[in-house]
Amino acid sequence: MSPRSEELAAEAWKRLAAARHSLDAGDFGVAVASAYYAMLYAARAALSERDLHAKTHSGTWSLFGEHLVKAGSIDQTVAATARDAERLRA
């Protein structure tokens, strides 16, 4: 894994831990937002491994869908879960 991908993956794990902590504390809004960001950073890490980068959330999800989901590397339910989390966060 490239250093940049490692940084992004580490951030994803950090956000996931924050989501779990918030969920345990009953702070559901923060838990959803943290879980969403965990997914976003994980997607960016996966894209980074393919030397693909986006500046925006929508750009990230577009590249993720095109290069990972449509290619069959990632199941469609993962992308659907991320879209649901994004809507809930908003």
13-68 tens-digit pLDDT? 999 999 999 999 999 999 999 999 999 999 999 999 999 999 999 999 999 999 99
The CA distance from 50 to 12, in Å, is 17
The pLDDT assigned to 29 comes to: 92
Domain holding 77, by residue range, is: 3-89
pLDDT of 79 above 90: no
Angle in degrees, 0-180, between the axes of helices 57-64 and 76-89, rounded to the nearest 10: 170
pLDDT of 82 above 90: no
Rounded mean pLDDT of 62-80? 91
The pLDDT assigned to 86 comes to: 86
- Number of structural domains found in the chain: 1
